[in-house]
Amino acid sequence: MSNKNKNKIFKPRPISGFLEWLPEVRLVELQWLDEIRDAFESYGFGSIETPSVEEVEVLVAKGGDADKEIYALRRLAAEPGEEDSSRLALHYDLTVPLARYVAQHAGDLVFPFKRYQMQRCWRGERPQEGRLREFMQCDIDVIDMDEVSMHFDAEIPAITLEMLHRLDVGPVCMHINNRKILQGFYEGLGIEDIVGAIRIADKMDKIGVEGVLDGLVEDLGIEEDIAQKCVDLAAIKTNDETFAAQVRAFGVENDMLEAGLEELMFVMLELAHLEKGSVMADMSIARGFDYYTGTVYEGKLVDYPDFPTICAGGRYDNLVGSYSNKKLPGVGISIGFSRIFSKMIKEGRVKIGAKCPTHLMVACLPGTPRCEVSGTARALRDRGFKVEMYHEEKSLKAQMKYASRKGIPFVWFPANSEQPKHEVKDMDTGEQVVADLATWLP
Amino acid sequence: MSNKNKNKIFKPRPISGFLEWLPEVRLVELQWLDEIRDAFESYGFGSIETPSVEEVEVLVAKGGDADKEIYALRRLAAEPGEEDSSRLALHYDLTVPLARYVAQHAGDLVFPFKRYQMQRCWRGERPQEGRLREFMQCDIDVIDMDEVSMHFDAEIPAITLEMLHRLDVGPVCMHINNRKILQGFYEGLGIEDIVGAIRIADKMDKIGVEGVLDGLVEDLGIEEDIAQKCVDLAAIKTNDETFAAQVRAFGVENDMLEAGLEELMFVMLELAHLEKGSVMADMSIARGFDYYTGTVYEGKLVDYPDFPTICAGGRYDNLVGSYSNKKLPGVGISIGFSRIFSKMIKEGRVKIGAKCPTHLMVACLPGTPRCEVSGTARALRDRGFKVEMYHEEKSLKAQMKYASRKGIPFVWFPANSEQPKHEVKDMDTGEQVVADLATWLP
C-alpha cells in the first residue's frame, strides 16, 4: 500500500444485493430478531451457530441448483497454487450446515435435537426484489434418531405462523403439501420420469397450465389425459382435510399416495385450531429439486401475492446421510428474515422511531459540577435506565436539539447551585417537572 | 452434480480457525452477547450492522498490515473474467466498515454518532491460540463532526471495563497511552524516522529491550543514549496521573509531547474512580501502524499475562477521511469477543448448564388426551414460560431421561382420568407436587 494511495479518497457506494440500515431501522430490526428468538425459545428450541463457511465438498454434497451461487473464499494475497482457503466457501443456507453439524456432533447431542439458527447466508445471484446476495435467515429444525414424530410436522408451521403474527407482517398463508402425494400420484399414473414430471409441474407459476401440459406431453412423452390429471391435481387447495377426498376421486391407487394423504391429513387436523386461512393443503407445492421426502411448506404474504415465498421447508429423511452413516431424519423451516423485513420497510409498514436506545439524556449545563452530572447518570443507569451524558460543552439549545433529533424521550437536569432539585423534561409534551433520582419513573 | 456423488458420504471435520459450539455452550455465549449489548445500550450506544463484505478498495484504503489477510469472494462457478464478485471481500474488522458507513450516510446521522456493532470478522491468518480466522468482535465508537469530546476517551474504557466485569472474566487491566506522547518525545529527541522508531519500540514484547536498542541504533542510526531514552520512556507505567512527572523528568521539550501528556492526564483523572489496577498509563503502548492519532488502549486479562490483547482501540482523526472530505474524527474500542469467550471456555471458567432454554417439559403419557397436553403447554407458554411438549409416544422413563439429559429444570404432568390434578416435578430435587396451571411459579 503506497502512501500516495493512502491520501486518495475512495467514495463508497451501496453494494447491490447487500443490505445496510440506518440506526433507527436497525433498532426495529433488533426488536424483530428478539421477538423471533423469543418465539422459538418459547417452544424449547435452542440456539446454535455454525461457521459462515463450510468446506466446498460439504456444500455441494446434497447436489442441486445452489452450487453455482456459492461464494468461495480466496485470500487476497494468496500465493499461486495456495490451496488452503480455496476449499472454503460461504454457506448459502442453514440446512446443510445443520446436517453437517448433527453428523459431526451426534455423540454430544440429545435427540430429538431441536435447534433454531439465525445467521447470515450468501448467494451469488442477480439481485432483484426479494433476492439478496447476503441475507439473514431464521431456521428451526428437529432432527431425531431413526424417526421424527409427525407432531413436529404440525408444530413447525404453527410456531412459524405465531412468530410472524407477533411481527405484525399482515396475514400469512402456509401452503402445505406432502411429496409422497405427488410421487405416489405420478407413480400410480404410470409416469416413468417422476422427478422430471414434478420438475415441470413445479413451474406452473412461471409457465402456466399450458406450459406445464406442453412440457409433460412433449418433453416427457406423457399422454395428454395423464398430463391433464397432473395439472388437475395441482389445482386442489383446501383449508382443511377435505383435499384427500378430492385426490382420491381421481381413482389413482398407490400406497405411497395413500401414505402421503394420511400424513397431510394428520398435519391439517393438528393445525385445525389455527386462524382460518392461515394454513392450506395445496397440491401444487413441490419445493423443486430439494431434499424433501414428506411434508413440504411454503409461506406467502397474503397481501403481496406476487412477492416470493417468505418461508419454506419440510421433512427430509436423508439429508444428514450425506455426512454420516446414521439415520437422522428431520423436519424444519427456513424463514427469510431479510426478505420479509426489507419488504415491510419498503411498504412503509414498520413504525420507525428513535435513532438510539437511550431512555434519558443527562444534560450537562454550566454551573453543574461534572461529577454531579456523571453521578446522576450512574444512579439512573443503576436503576436499569439507558442513559447518556451530553459530553460536549455546548449550549442548552444544542443539547436539546441533539436529544430531540435522536428521539430520546426524556432529558434530565441534575440539581445545581441555582436549581436545588433534579428536574426532568418530557421531550414529547415539553413538560418539565421536579423529579426524584431514586423513584422517578417515565 | 452426479447422482453417484450424491450417495457418497463426505465425512466432515472441524475447520481450523473457525469456532463451533455445542448447544450448551452456545446458550452461555448468547447470555454473554446479551450482557454486552445491555452494557453498551445502558450508555446510549445504538446498534448498527454493516454487510459482511466491503469493496476491496474500501478495505485497503487505510493501508497497513491487514491487507494480506483479507478473504476475497469468488463465485464458485464464476465465468472466466467474471469481475463482479471479485471486487468484494469479507471485512477484517468493524472500524473500517464504520468509517465507510459514516462517510456514506453522514447526512442521515445525528452527531456525535455513538454506535456499537457486534459482528463476525474474518482474517486469513495462521490459526494459533487467541487467533481465529472467523471471530465475533464487539465494538463501540463515537464519531463527531470536526471534534470529539475528550470525555469519550475516558468513557469508552470505562464502559468496556464495566462490561467485562459483568462477564466475570477475572481482573482486566486497560493499558492507556497517547500517540502524541510517543511522537512528541521522539521528535523532541531529534529522531528523524519517528514511524520507524515507534515501530521498533512497539516490538519490546517480542524482541526485548536489547532487541529494541539494537534496532534503534543499528537500523535507524540513532545514538545509543537517545535509544536508551526511548526504552526508558516505554518502562513508565503508573496507575494514576504521576506518569507525567516521570516523563517530564527526561527534560524533553516538545509541544506535541506536552499535549499528549495533558490528554492522558485528563483521561486518567476521569477514570480515577475505577477499581485500583484496572487502568494503567503505560508508555509502552503504541498500537503498531494503526490509524490512531491520540489516546490508545490495550486491554489484558491479568490472570493470563501471556494471552494476547483482548481489546484495543483509540482515537483516530483521519480514518473517515479515507472515504469523505468531511472532518469526522472518532474514538473507540474493539473487544475480541471470540478470543475472550473461547479462552474462558478453555480455562473452564464458564459454568455450562442446560442444553436448551426450556423451563418446563410437558410430559405426554398414555391416558392423557393430546389436546389436554397441548392446551397445558399453551397455557404455560402464555404465562411466559419456555415450554416444550414431548412428542414421541415413549415410556415415562424415556421422557424423564430426555428432560434430565437436556437439563430441563421442571417436568409438568397434566391432569388426566387417573390423576385429577396437575403435578410438577422438580428435576433437581426429584420432588413432585400438585400445581396450579394459572399460578404455579418455579
pLDDT at A229: 96
Judging contacts by C-beta atoms under 8 Å, the chain B residues touching residue A10 are 55, 57-58, 61, 322-323
More confident residue, B324 or B290: B324
> Could B76 and A88 be called an inter-chain contact, meaning their C-beta atoms sit closer than 8 Å?
no
* Of the candidates A184, A205, A207, A170, the residue with the CA atom closest to the CA atom of residue A285: A205
Task: Write phi, then psi, for B440 (nearest 5 degrees).
Answer: -60, 140
Edge-to-edge strands of the sheet including A387-389?
A: A387-389, A360-362, A410-413, A423-426, A432-434
DSSP character string of B310-360: SEEEEEESSSGGGT-SS---EEEEEE-HHHHHHHHHHTT-S----SS--SE
Judging contacts by C-beta atoms under 8 Å, the chain A residues touching residue B383 are none
Judge whether residue A2 has pLDDT over 50: no
Contact A354, A405 (CB under 8 A): no
The 10 Å Cβ neighbour count of residue A398 is 11
> Could B151 and A44 be called an inter-chain contact, meaning their C-beta atoms sit closer than 8 Å?
no
The 10 Å Cβ neighbour count of residue A174 is 25
> Could B51 and A6 be called an inter-chain contact, meaning their C-beta atoms sit closer than 8 Å?
no
Contacts 24+ apart (CB under 8 A), A221-229: A222/A191, A222/A197, A226/A189, A226/A190, A226/A191, A229/A189
Judge whether residue A309 has pLDDT over 60: yes
The Cα of A88 is separated from the nearest Cα of chain B by a number of Å equal to: 9
Judging contacts by C-beta atoms under 8 Å, the chain B residues touching residue A134 are 51-53
B149-164 pLDDT, tens digit each: 999 999 999 999 999 9
Burial (Cβ within 10 Å: 0-12, 13-18, ≥19) of residue B24: middle
Judge whether residue A220 has pLDDT over 80: yes
pLDDT at A437: 95
Judging contacts by C-beta atoms under 8 Å, the chain B residues touching residue A64 are 1
> Could A73 and B72 be called an inter-chain contact, meaning their C-beta atoms sit closer than 8 Å?
yes
A237 alpha carbon, distance to own chain's centre: 25
| Mutation for testing the A interface, residue in B42, B90, B317, B341 having most A CBs under 10 Å | B42
Q: Rounded to whole angstroms, what are the CA distances from B174 to A362, B141, B330?
A: 27, 17, 19
Judging contacts by C-beta atoms under 8 Å, the chain B residues touching residue A19 are 51
Mean pLDDT rounded to a whole number for chain A: 92
Judge whether residue A213 has pLDDT over 70: yes
> Could B22 and A108 be called an inter-chain contact, meaning their C-beta atoms sit closer than 8 Å?
yes
- What is d(CA B252, CA B347) in angstroms, rounded to the nearest whole number? 45
pLDDT at A136: 98
- Closest-CA residue of B relative to A122 is B52
Judging contacts by C-beta atoms under 8 Å, the chain A residues touching residue B56 are 76
- What is d(CA A314, CA A346) in angstroms, rounded to the nearest whole number? 29
Contact B207, B340 (CB under 8 A): no
User: ω into residue B112 within 30 of 0, thus cis?
Assistant: yes
Judging contacts by C-beta atoms under 8 Å, the chain B residues touching residue A65 are none
Q: Which residues of B241-274 are buried (b: 16+ CB within 10 A; e: fewer)?
A: bebbebbeeeebebebbbebbebbbbbbebbeeb
Average pLDDT over residues B6-15: 77
Judge whether residue A241 has pLDDT over 90: yes
Judge whether residue A221 has pLDDT over 90: yes
Q: Three-state SS across B282-300?
A: ECCCCCCCCCCCCEEEEEE
Cell of B232: 526508558
- What is d(CA A266, CA A285) in angstroms, rounded to the nearest whole number? 18
In the structure, what pLDDT confidence band is assigned to residue B80 with cuts at 50, 70 and 90?
Answer: low
Judge whether residue A259 has pLDDT over 90: yes
| Mutation for testing the B interface, residue in A42, A54, A362, A399 having most B CBs under 10 Å | A42
Q: Rounded to whole angstroms, what are the CA distances from A238 to A227, A264, A277, A299, B294?
A: 22, 12, 9, 15, 68
* Of the candidates B252, B114, B245, B246, the residue with the CA atom closest to the CA atom of residue B183: B252
Average pLDDT over residues A202-224: 92
> Could A100 and B355 be called an inter-chain contact, meaning their C-beta atoms sit closer than 8 Å?
no
- What is d(CA A338, CA A398) in angstroms, rounded to the nearest whole number? 37
> Could A61 and B27 be called an inter-chain contact, meaning their C-beta atoms sit closer than 8 Å?
no
- What is d(CA B376, CA A159) in angstroms, rounded to the nearest whole number? 16
Average pLDDT over residues A68-82: 79
pLDDT at B316: 93
Q: Three-state SS across B197-249?
A: HHHHHCCHHHHHHHHHHHHHHHHCCCCHHHHHHHHHHHCCEECCCCHHHHHHC
B101-158 pLDDT, tens digit each: 999 999 999 999 999 999 999 998 777 777 899 999 999 999 999 999 999 999 999 9
The 10 Å Cβ neighbour count of residue A56 is 17
> Could A20 and B51 be called an inter-chain contact, meaning their C-beta atoms sit closer than 8 Å?
yes
- What is d(CA A434, CA A426) in angstroms, rounded to the nearest whole number? 11
- What is d(CA B18, CA B324) in angstroms, rounded to the nearest whole number? 35
CB nearest to A44's CB, from B64, B152, B356 = B356
pLDDT at B136: 98
pLDDT at A114: 97
Helix, strand or coil, per DSSP, at residue A167: coil
CB-based contacts of A371, cutoff 8 Å, min separation 6: none
Judge whether residue B84 has pLDDT over 80: no
- How many residue contacts between A and B have a Cβ separation below 8 Å? 284
* Of the candidates B178, B202, B181, the residue with the CA atom closest to the CA atom of residue B254: B181
Q: What is the DSSP letter of A12?
A: -
Strand boundaries in B43-167, DSSP class E = 46-47, 53-55, 71-75, 88-90, 113-122, 134-143
Say which range, A119-128, A339-348, B230-239, B257-266, has the weakest mean pLDDT: A119-128
The Cα of A439 is separated from the nearest Cα of chain B by a number of Å equal to: 18
The 10 Å Cβ neighbour count of residue A391 is 21
> Could A23 and B322 be called an inter-chain contact, meaning their C-beta atoms sit closer than 8 Å?
no
> Could B71 and A72 be called an inter-chain contact, meaning their C-beta atoms sit closer than 8 Å?
no
Judge whether residue B328 has pLDDT over 50: yes
> Could B47 and A23 be called an inter-chain contact, meaning their C-beta atoms sit closer than 8 Å?
yes
Average pLDDT over residues A344-368: 94
Judge whether residue B400 has pLDDT over 60: yes
Cell of B333: 474500542
| ipTM for the assembly | 0.94
> Could A68 and B77 be called an inter-chain contact, meaning their C-beta atoms sit closer than 8 Å?
yes
The Cα of A225 is separated from the nearest Cα of chain B by a number of Å equal to: 31
Judging contacts by C-beta atoms under 8 Å, the chain B residues touching residue A400 are none
- What is d(CA A251, CA B85) in angstroms, rounded to the nearest whole number? 53
The Cα of B414 is separated from the nearest Cα of chain A by a number of Å equal to: 17
CB nearest to B68's CB, from A21, A77, A356 = A77
Judge whether residue A88 has pLDDT over 60: yes
- What is d(CA B235, CA B374) in angstroms, rounded to the nearest whole number? 68
> Could B12 and A90 be called an inter-chain contact, meaning their C-beta atoms sit closer than 8 Å?
no
- What is d(CA A213, CA B42) in angstroms, rounded to the nearest whole number? 62
In the structure, what pLDDT confidence band is assigned to residue A86 with cuts at 50, 70 and 90?
Answer: low
The Cα of B273 is separated from the nearest Cα of chain A by a number of Å equal to: 11
CB nearest to A76's CB, from B8, B56, B115 = B56
CB nearest to B44's CB, from A47, A122, A358 = A358
pLDDT at A4: 40
Judging contacts by C-beta atoms under 8 Å, the chain B residues touching residue A12 are 54-55, 58, 100, 103-104, 323
In the structure, what pLDDT confidence band is assigned to residue B86 with cuts at 50, 70 and 90?
Answer: low
> Could A322 and B10 be called an inter-chain contact, meaning their C-beta atoms sit closer than 8 Å?
yes
Edge-to-edge strands of the sheet including A71-75?
A: A53-55, A88-90, A71-75, B71-75, B88-90, B53-55
Judge whether residue A412 has pLDDT over 60: yes
- What is d(CA A72, CA A89) in angstroms, rounded to the nearest whole number? 4
> Could A12 and B55 be called an inter-chain contact, meaning their C-beta atoms sit closer than 8 Å?
yes
Beta-bridge partner residues of A120:
A136
The 10 Å Cβ neighbour count of residue B382 is 10
Judge whether residue A3 has pLDDT over 50: no
The 10 Å Cβ neighbour count of residue A337 is 23
Cα separation of the two ends of chain A: 53
Mean pLDDT rounded to a whole number for chain B: 92
Beta-bridge partner residues of A143:
A113, A330
The Cα of B214 is separated from the nearest Cα of chain A by a number of Å equal to: 27
More confident residue, B398 or A12: B398
In the structure, what pLDDT confidence band is assigned to residue A7 with cuts at 50, 70 and 90?
Answer: low
pLDDT at B85: 55
- What is d(CA B368, CA B421) in angstroms, rounded to the nearest whole number? 12
Judge whether residue B25 has pLDDT over 60: yes
> Could B357 and A41 be called an inter-chain contact, meaning their C-beta atoms sit closer than 8 Å?
yes
pLDDT at A318: 80
- Closest-CA residue of A relative to B82 is A124
- Closest-CA residue of A relative to B132 is A51
CB nearest to B27's CB, from A46, A56, A88 = A46
- Closest-CA residue of A relative to B13 is A104
Task: Write phi, then psi, for B299 (nearest 5 degrees).
Answer: -100, 140
In the structure, what pLDDT confidence band is assigned to residue B291 with cuts at 50, 70 and 90?
Answer: confident
Burial (Cβ within 10 Å: 0-12, 13-18, ≥19) of residue A205: exposed
Judge whether residue A359 has pLDDT over 90: yes
pLDDT at B138: 98
CB nearest to A41's CB, from B3, B46, B386 = B386
Judging contacts by C-beta atoms under 8 Å, the chain A residues touching residue B110 are 355, 402, 405-406
Judging contacts by C-beta atoms under 8 Å, the chain A residues touching residue B274 are none
Average pLDDT over residues B39-50: 98
The Cα of B41 is separated from the nearest Cα of chain A by a number of Å equal to: 6
> Could B44 and A10 be called an inter-chain contact, meaning their C-beta atoms sit closer than 8 Å?
no
The 10 Å Cβ neighbour count of residue B335 is 24
Say which range, A390-404, B80-94, B174-188, B199-213, has the weakest mean pLDDT: B80-94
CB nearest to A85's CB, from B71, B109, B388 = B71
pLDDT at A204: 86
